[in-house]
Every structure is written in structure tokens, then in C-alpha cells.
Amino acid sequence: MGEAQERVAALLAEHDPTTTDRLEFLRARFDAGLAWVHFPVGLGGLSAPRAMQQEVDEALTAAGAPDNNPRRIGIGLGMAAPTILAYGTGEQHRLLRPLWTGEEVWCQLFSEPGAGSDLAALATRARRDGDDWVVTGQKVWTSSAHNARWAILVARTDPDVPKHAGLTYFVCDMTAPGVEVRPLRQITGEAEFNEVFLTDVRIPDSARLGEIGDGWRVAQTTLMNERVAIGSRSSAREAGMVGVVAETWRAHPDRRTAAAHDQLLGLWVEAEALRLAGVRLRQQLAAGAPGPEGSAMKLGFARLSQALSGFEVEFLAEDGLRYDDWTLRRPELVDFTGRGPGYRYLRAKGNSIEGGTSEVLRNIIAERVLGLPAEPRVDKDVPWKDLPR
């Protein structure tokens, strides 16, 4: 019996998932080092190869063990946790256990009006006041802010230096005085996202991640993990949007044409190529060598999702244009494939914005993968306070 199997067997012997409270089981799993095995011992891991995780997950699933609802807490798992691990102090590492069990939901306070794609241009200010920082500004497109207990936040702490150099990274208590969350209604009628207003919010210096002025470098860790998390989802053939559209095709033989067949076949092949690229990305992650493929995967996912949803609406003609309900909803989970073709078409429009715009991702691929010259930057050596806004 391998190490993973031995540890899973020991956990199950002490905590029978059929009789143990769900939260109690998840806490025990974290303490046993079986949450994310590549994390250090004491932080939910075993300092083991990441490849062991799949073996652990499959064994626990087979035993009927509960999961931690990873889609609901995806921002915490995929973005906050690796950043806290990389830059957090011992005290900050205490945040990892309730993050992983789902007891505390996290959100990401990065995007701003006027600085969505250009994160380094953000204007939310953090001013030092004794042992605290006083933060004032506005964030936008914030998923899960209405459910979040904690947020990862980037703010400007020095306006007198070039924009990339004057940022600092914090953990923000979403229940602190001065934090206001407002729903942001989307084209679908839903309000998955939020605006977050920060008015003189006090954050202790002990909640800072990384050095003062090093927020850009810390944020890159978060963003790289975000794109990997988005781009490396499901590996099953015909999972996600391509599966939904393929099923629509099979259900309506009367609507088929030769041109539509060729178009769908091209999209299906593209989806399969993307799926296999995701397999390679996960293998690289397991080997501890993530590359820029996460950005390429996210870009490909957005483009393909929009193409497939557009195909479905055209294929169904007038039936594809019907919409079910415009009532304002506040879903906890992003639903790319649910409800109906009209909803899927509208929701897919956000894919090229959320998690890094397609324009930004193309720049990353051009510069880091293809080695093309970087775009000319006229603001590189200019203090942020002197930049036109």
C-alpha cells in the first residue's frame, strides 16, 4: 500500500464519512495533510508531489467522503491560498484551514473602474497610520463579495513612483467598517458580481502579504494561479459547453445542414485540442513546473465558449433567442452551461473579460511564449501621480 493509500485508510478509520459530520470530516482531512498534498506539513499537506493528489481524491470519493464544494470557494482555493502560501507569515497561514474547508469564502479585490485590464493603474489608496493602513477606493466585477469573509486586495501605497512599483498587497476583512458591497447586474439579469466600496477601511500591517511596494510581484502569483485554475478545468471529453451544444445538435436532426455540420465539427475538434492541452497543463503542475500555458488555456476557453454559444443560438434560430427569466438573482456559483441557449450566449460574453481579458492574455503569450517585442510603454518611468487619468 502506498503512502497516499495508507493515509487515506487511516483517515477513514478514524472518521467514517457515513457517520461523521461533513465539516468535522473536512477539518480532519486538512489536519491529516490530505487537503492539498503538495502544501507543507501542518498547512493541509504532506510536502508530497502534487501528482499524489489525484490518488487521494479518487480514494476519498470512492469511500463516499464529502468534498469542500470547490466551485463555491474557487477564488480561495485557486488564488488566495497559493498566494498566502508563497508570501504569508505563520499567523497568516492560519487562514488556510477555514479557507480549504469552505467555512470562510474569499473574494478578489483587484479590478477597478478605469483599471480593469491594466491592474498596475489601479487608484485605490492605502495610507499608513501607525500599525494600520487606511484604504479608500472602489473595486468592481468582484465575484463572491456578497458571500466573502476575506478578500485579497491590491492598493496603491506610493503614488510618487511608477505604477508597478507603488502597490502593496493585503488581506482585507470584508466585515470591517467601511466595506460596502453592492450587486452589479449583468446582461443576463443576474448579479454574480459586485461593486465594492472601501471608505477609510483600516487594515492592520500584520495583514500585509509581501513587502511594501512589492504588490505587483505578489499579484502576479495570484493571477498566474487564477488563469491556471480557469484554464485547466474539466478534462472529460464533451464536458462543458461543447457537450451541451453537441447534445442540442443530436436532438434536432431536422435543423442540420452541411455547413452547420462542418462548423460544429471544427469547434468540437478545437474543444478536444483544448482539453488535451489542459491535460498537459495539469501534468506540468504535478511536476511543479507551471508555464504560460494557463494564459493560453484561459484565452482558448473564452474564445471557444463564445463560438459554441453563438453556434447554438444560430442553430436553434428563433428558439435560441427565447429567454426564461430576467429576475435579479444572486447565484453563488457561475453557471456557464445552465438554463438555456439564450442565457448561455449572453453569459459567455463575460468569458473574455473575467479572469484576465483576452487582450492582456494575448500580450502575455506574444511576449513570454513567442518572444515578440513588448508593446511600447510610455508610462514605464513616470510616477503614477503624473499619469493622465
CB count within 10 Å of CB 168 equals: 25
Beta-carbon contacts of residue 199 (< 8 Å; ≥ 6 apart): 136, 178, 180
Q: Which three cell numbers stand for residue 132?
A: 494600520
Beta-carbon contacts of residue 99 (< 8 Å; ≥ 6 apart): 73, 76, 77, 80, 81, 84, 106, 150
Inter-helix orientation angle 258-286/241-251, to 10°: 150
Among the listed residues 226, 238, 293, 375, the single catalytic one is: 226
Say how many CA atoms lie within 13 Å of 89 toward its Cβ: 10
CB 165 within 8 A of CB 384: no
DSSP state for residue 376 in the 8-state scheme: P
Integer Rg of the chain from CA: 22
CA 188 from centre of chain: 20
109 sits in the region (left: phi over 0; alpha: psi -120 to 50; else beta) called beta
Question: Is residue 226 annotated as part of the catalytic site, yes or no?
Answer: yes
Beta-carbon contacts of residue 211 (< 8 Å; ≥ 6 apart): 168
* 36 vs 52: CA distance, rounded Å: 9
User: Residue 243: which of 166, 308, 197 has the closest Cα?
Assistant: 308
Q: Which three cell numbers stand for residue 177?
A: 467598517
What residues are annotated to the active site? 226
